[in-house]
Amino acid sequence: MILEIVQILCCIALAGAAIYWRVRKHPGEGAHKFLFPVIIATGLAGCLRAFPPAIESYLSWQRASLYEVVGYRFGGPYWWVYVAAVLLPLLPVVGMLPSIGKRSVLMAVLALLAMLPATYFLVMFR
């Protein structure tokens, strides 16, 4: 639960900083330098948030319970939840590339998308 809250707060901070940059500054001039510390913090929180579902799937795979991995997690009706729980928190990491990180609106959208799995798990499993 703490990881979800940290992920949500980091994503809100990144989206807020990106929107602030877009409103107050010239778009494209130094945006990557301004957003980079928040991108790093959000990326670290995303890595921490994506680690438990990824390691859970890996351990299920190593225990040779293929039904749990393939049949239930990635083949069941809620396969998108497990894929999103691993991949979406890692979206802000692509902001480390200067060509993506300097686009403040794109970074705000990526931050809000990265926040979805943490919000889902916080609301559903509270």
How much is the pTM? 0.81
Q: Binning pLDDT at 50, 70 and 90, where does residue 106 land?
A: very high
Q: Which residues of 52-81 are buried (b: 16+ CB within 10 A; e: fewer)?
A: ebeebbeebeeeeeeebbeebbeeeeeeee
56-87 residue pLDDT tens: 778 877 776 666 666 666 777 777 878 888 88
Q: What pLDDT does residue 32 have?
A: 85
Q: Is the pLDDT of residue 16 over 90?
A: yes
24-51 residue pLDDT tens: 876 667 888 889 999 999 999 999 988 8
Distances (CA, A) of 117 to 51, 97, 107, 124: 13, 23, 17, 10
